[in-house]
Structure 1
Amino acid sequence: MSKPRFFVPNRINGEVIQYLQQYGNVGYRDKEEKISEEEFLEGLSRANALLCYSRQKINGRILEQAPLLKVVSNIAVGYDNLDLGELTKRGVLATNTPGILTETTADLTFSILMAAARRVAEADQYVKSGQWQEWFPSLMLGKDVFGATIGIIGMGRIGEAVARRAKGFNMEILYYNRSRKKDIEQKLGARYVSLKHLLQKSDYVVVLVPLTEETKEIIGAKEFALMKKDAILVNVSRGATIDETALIHALQENRIAGAALDVYEKEPVDPENQLLKMTNVVTLPHIGSATKETRGKMAMKAARNAVAAIIGEPPENLLNKEVLQKAK
């Protein structure tokens, strides 16, 4: 009986490869840059399990070229890159890596909130470009974070972790979510409010929802019109949760004070994107979970999910349980 084949099209922790090799053969491409579609499909055509990052789109057209595939293991918590309907229809398991990146992503979220509030990136460039010739009282005036009001849209694991950090800054915590989280309200003093109320009252609006049909462009022109003139928008979810054109107009027309972004509608972001030309916008290259420790743990979690599927056990982080139910 031939051994199962794992396909890993991009560089991950070497310990993960060693782990996978205990259970089968591994097709491994030890490169950072995205693989070409031709090379990807060639590797996938012989694979029983795929470990991939969220930049790799898996849809019906791709799956047609993967007759042996049993599991797609996403090295990410988000899975909008996976067509779950197509995977389920074809009996292919899909998994993700929730929980592991929670604290790391919350750290990043709160750090860019503070960076936007205190104009950190702008001040850094001000000094490095030689513009700082003297000190004066109004130099780089920013906004207070301590004691301000934060509005969190999406109170999942990361939302709760951000709320814990906000509590440490004595912030009033408002949140909007599909369902009420009374335990979080009791622990952190958070208040469950309507989206409208959150937008009207928050000094910092933080978007932490997964990308779905329901959340696509959850913040657009109508929502920006509700926000405070001195409010700052923070997005560490997915770029398409924000109407980017509406955001640009809101910033250009001073309807809001600024933004802090780790994600964009198009990634990598177009160099001509107006957001990159605005000094009141902090822009990062989608690095919410980017620490060595966290990325290593995510890759190992994805590997364990893939191995479980291959040896016939239910993966811990299964996204389409219907596949197992049909198999019974």
Structure 2
Amino acid sequence: MTPKLLISRTMPDRVVTRALARYDVTLREDLDPLTEAQALAALYDHDAVLTTLGDAFTATVFAQAPAPRCRILANFGVGYNHIAVAAAKASGVVVSNTPGAVTDATADIALTLMLMTARRAGEGERLVRSGGWKGWQPTQMLGQHITGKRLGVVGFGRIGKAIARRAHFGFGMEIMFFNRSTVEDPGMPATQVASLTALMAGCDVVVVAVPGGAATHHLIGSESLAAMQPHAILINIARGDVVDETALIDALQQRRIAGAGLDVYEHEPLVPPALLALDSAVLLPHLGTAALEVREAMGLMALDNLDAFFDGQEVPNRVA
């Protein structure tokens, strides 16, 4: 029997075409993620779900589906904190993700935010569009030079290392990193520090690149932000709730740090008005993997996981 697959949001044509060749596909065209009620229905109505960011496969949902029809959630993306993985496993549901496909694109966005924030590019573009620019001046909108400065990376997995490589070899930046486990071979000149506070205190730019989930919720809060230098900037390309948004807004408003570049938000897609009002914040609409070839690669990797599962083989990117 052909497995019945729900694709929870619109995908690139190449991904949909391949899925249709093997599965009985229901392609959901709603722009919003699955609610808990919709996620519960998906578990009962389909053999598999190609799930996307924000789909509410919570512990509450799995508690109502102890023996679901669905046997695998193939997540479209590396982050899967919207899925209660332990509860899925207890219900007999496999969970997979797409780690390698997103690394370079996400690292590129981190560098984009670093440059935009340090050089006040967002603020400058708004000035030009407003008609308020009066021409070049020697002291106009002076930002910071990042070449040769010290970069701190919080989380030194695939994405963290990719960011560090770009920063070191492209901009001559000195690299420090904080990671929960020891990294024996960073792959470049880089120094692992023992504490998050030490990293935050010692760097000109700090990039957050840890996975989301309970273990990293509000990892960057008032204490770590207070350790940063007044000229330092914070970049978050991880998950929004890794950073305590209220504490970050306070640090920016009080000018205890110079700026922040964000691609993700604590209650996405809601962005606090206080954050929107800050010229020192560069705000992107979760563009980390927003390139056609990257989204195609993510979808095809998710289908690789599904194909392996239904072929009775080991799922290559299984997380539970």
TM range (shorter): over 0.9
Q: For 1:171 and 1:28, how far apart are their aligned partners in 2? A: 45
Q: TM-score, normalised by structure 2?
A: 0.94
1:49 aligns with 2:48: yes
Post-superposition offset of 1:177: 0.3
Q: What's the counterpart of residue 326 of structure 1?
A: none
Q: What's the counterpart of residue 116 of structure 2?
A: 115
| Correspondences of 1:1-328 after superposition (within 5 Å) | 2-34=1-33, 41-63=40-62, 64=64, 67-167=68-168, 168-184=170-186, 187-194=187-194, 195-270=196-271, 272-320=272-320
Post-superposition offset of 1:129: 0.8
Q: What's the counterpart of residue 324 of structure 1?
A: none
Question: Matched residue pairs, number?
Answer: 316
Aligned alpha-carbon RMSD (Å): 1.7
Q: For 2:220 and 2:87, how far apart are their aligned partners in 1? A: 29
Conservation of the 8 A alpha-carbon contact between 1:151 and 1:204: yes
Q: For 1:206 and 1:143, how far apart are their aligned partners in 2? A: 16
Q: Deviations over 1:197-243 (max 9, x none)?
A: 21111000110001233321111111111110100000000111111
Letter aligned with residue 256 of structure 2: R
Q: Deviations over 1:43-95 (max 9, x none)?
A: 54220000011211212443435721100010010110110111111111000
Q: Deviations over 1:177-198 (max 9, x none)?
A: 01222321xx311111132221
Change (3 A) 1:35 1:238: closer
Letter aligned with residue 13 of structure 1: P
Conservation of the 8 A alpha-carbon contact between 1:49 and 1:310: no
More displaced, 136-145 or 43-52?
43-52
Q: For 1:304 and 1:82, how far apart are their aligned partners in 2? A: 20
Change (3 A) 1:72 1:101: same
Conservation of the 8 A alpha-carbon contact between 1:96 and 1:319: yes
Letter aligned with residue 146 of structure 1: T
Q: Where in structure 2 are there 5+ consecutive unaligned residues?
A: none
Post-superposition offset of 1:134: 3.5
Conservation of the 8 A alpha-carbon contact between 2:98 and 2:298: yes
Aligned-partner SS, 1:152 = strand
Change (3 A) 1:60 1:181: closer
Aligned-pair identity in percent equals 37
Q: Deviations over 1:251-307 (max 9, x none)?
A: 11111011000111101124x431110001000111111111101110111111112
Q: TM-score, normalised by structure 1?
A: 0.91
Change (3 A) 1:40 1:83: closer
Letter aligned with residue 27 of structure 1: T
Post-superposition offset of 1:15: 2.7
Q: For 1:225 and 1:40, how far apart are their aligned partners in 2? A: 40
Q: For 1:70 and 1:213, how far apart are their aligned partners in 2? A: 25
Q: For 1:216 and 1:226, how far apart are their aligned partners in 2? A: 19
Post-superposition offset of 1:4: 1.6
Letter aligned with residue 226 of structure 1: A
More displaced, 205-214 or 40-49?
40-49
Conservation of the 8 A alpha-carbon contact between 2:228 and 2:257: yes
Q: For 1:73 and 1:127, how far apart are their aligned partners in 2? A: 44
Aligned-partner SS, 2:16 = helix
Q: For 2:110 and 2:53, how far apart are their aligned partners in 1? A: 19
Aligned-partner SS, 2:207 = strand
Conservation of the 8 A alpha-carbon contact between 1:9 and 1:40: no
Conservation of the 8 A alpha-carbon contact between 2:34 and 2:56: no
Post-superposition offset of 1:28: 1.6
Aligned-partner SS, 2:22 = coil
